[in-house]
Chains A and B, each alone.
Chain A
């Protein structure tokens, strides 16, 4: 079974631009979460989607948004990029419910560099 895939793997943008990152979960997985990883802040939760609905959101400004499609694929968007948005963005998928100890499986990440 194919793992979580993320595109693109690397991205260079300039301040003020916007960017869209894509994530395809493992087949059959309906929950997709996004995390930001930086050397200074570590791994921080951005948001989680389940059945096309956002059911949890981290403490990030409104410039960060996301959505999930009916096939469970997810995208996240960052508008008006800032230098501090440079990070590795990780997507994770899991089967569903979120009421137990389901395992999240991570993709390879998209490394975003903002100049």
Chain B
């Protein structure tokens, strides 16, 4: 079965420090991977995605993610955290078994808390 795992329910980081939010995936074949962010009482906001090509993907608001096929990981990173980055982050993989579909399978989410 396809799945993504976010092993940390919460990540705490001080403002100005680098941050990493972890994601590992389990799919057969080449994955399409996504990161979304959710602020309180809001929908999901797209950050970045990996389709193919360069393993380092750059996205919105200074975020980037590194695709690592050997470790089946797609960790989200940012060199310098801001208090405004505090939010709930979701990793997702596109369903590869459903034929032509945009269905996403989400991880459980990681709450990022950036302290001033």
Contacts and interface: CB of A to CB of B under 8 A. Distances in A.
Interface of A: 4, 6, 31, 33, 35, 42-43, 45, 48, 50, 55-56, 58, 90, 92, 94, 97-109, 111
B109 A42 contact: yes
Given A43-B106, A107-B43, A108-B42, A100 B32 contact: yes
22 contacts: A6-B43, A33-B102, A33-B104, A35-B104, A42-B106, A43-B106, A45-B103, A48-B102, A48-B103, A58-B103, A92-B104, A98-B101, A98-B102, A99-B100, A101-B32, A102-B102, A104-B34, A106-B43, A106-B44, A107-B43, A108-B42, A109-B42
B11 interface: no
Contacts of A98: 99-102
A48 B100 CA distance: 11
Q: Name which of B34, B99, B100, B104 has the most chain A CB atoms within 10 A of its CB.
A: B100
A89 B59 CA distance: 26
B101 A104 contact: no
Given A43-B90, A103-B34, A97 B100 contact: yes
A52 to B, nearest CB: 15
A31 B46 contact: no
A113 to B, nearest CB: 13
